[in-house]
Amino acid sequence: MGVYQTFPYVPNFRVDATNIKRAVEQLETSAAALGSAGVDIVGQVGTPFSFAGGTGLEWAEDISTKLEKASGKPVALMGLSIVEALQERGYKTVAISSTYYSRELSERYTQFLEAGGIRVLTIKNWVDQKRFPDEESVDGRNLWYPASYAYKSAREVAAEAPEADCIIMSGAAVHTMDIIAPLEADLGKPVISSDAAFFWKILSLLGVRETSGGWGSLLDSL
């Protein structure tokens, strides 16, 4: 399987709604370039791109439609992939580790998921959990964070909402794939990360119905 990448460019980018909306303006050009390269699927990385400009599903669905038109290919948006994975698996309630997201993005994320019929029992970022003193300190890491932060954060939100059907770990800048299966064994319940939902959606669109295993219950469900 080959992978082509292209990136929108926003000077001094940080993960907030304003910068993400500026990046969204360039996505159609990126999608068109990928379509011209002959890819089978166009995937958009970055969960908040699906809700930075709105609180429902319409913003994300509109982006998806535009990217499909620009590329001429099926499209997987990371944020929408999470909603679709939760719906497919029948999970109704979630506890979320929103990792490095700001408070504003965490609130938008909650509204986005609830518009998709998912009830958010708790959502905490790393400032809420005292891993960083403030959002500026989080940004200072330049989107480079150890997976152990995500693991411990997910355990904490799971403890806050033991009745949650599923635990969500958000943030593509956190490398979560290697920790999903151990975390599921630790918590005794399903865990879905941004990466896992994104890969699940892409593989589903490609018609892939199996994986090498060990990547968590969502990918094992293919």
What would the DSSP string read from start to end of 92-110? -EEEEEEET--HHHHHHHH
Q: What is the pLDDT of residue 9?
A: 64
CATH class in words for 80-194: alpha beta
CB atoms within 10 A of CB 2: 7
d(CA 174, CA 161) in angstroms, rounded, equals 22
* Alpha carbons 7 and 46: distance in angstroms, whole number: 11
**pTM tops 0.85, yes or no:** yes
In one-letter notation, the amino acid at residue 3 is V
Q: Which residue has the tokens 């794939």?
A: 177
Are 200 and 172 in contact, with CB atoms under 8 Å apart? Answer: no
Q: Are 36 and 26 in contact (CB under 8 A)?
A: no
Amino acid 215: pLDDT: 94
Q: What is Dmax (Cα atoms) for the chain?
A: 47
Q: What is the DSSP letter of 215?
A: S
Task: Count Cα atoms within 13 angstroms, Cβ side, for 214.
Answer: 2
Q: For CATH 3.40.50.12500, list the domain ranges present in the chain.
A: 80-194
Q: Which amino acid is at 148?
A: S
pLDDT in tens, the chain (222 residues): 667 777 666 566 666 777 777 777 788 899 999 999 999 999 999 999 899 888 789 989 999 999 999 999 999 999 999 999 999 999 999 999 999 999 999 999 999 999 999 999 999 999 999 999 999 899 887 778 888 999 999 999 999 999 999 999 999 889 899 999 999 999 999 999 999 999 999 999 999 988 878 899 999 999
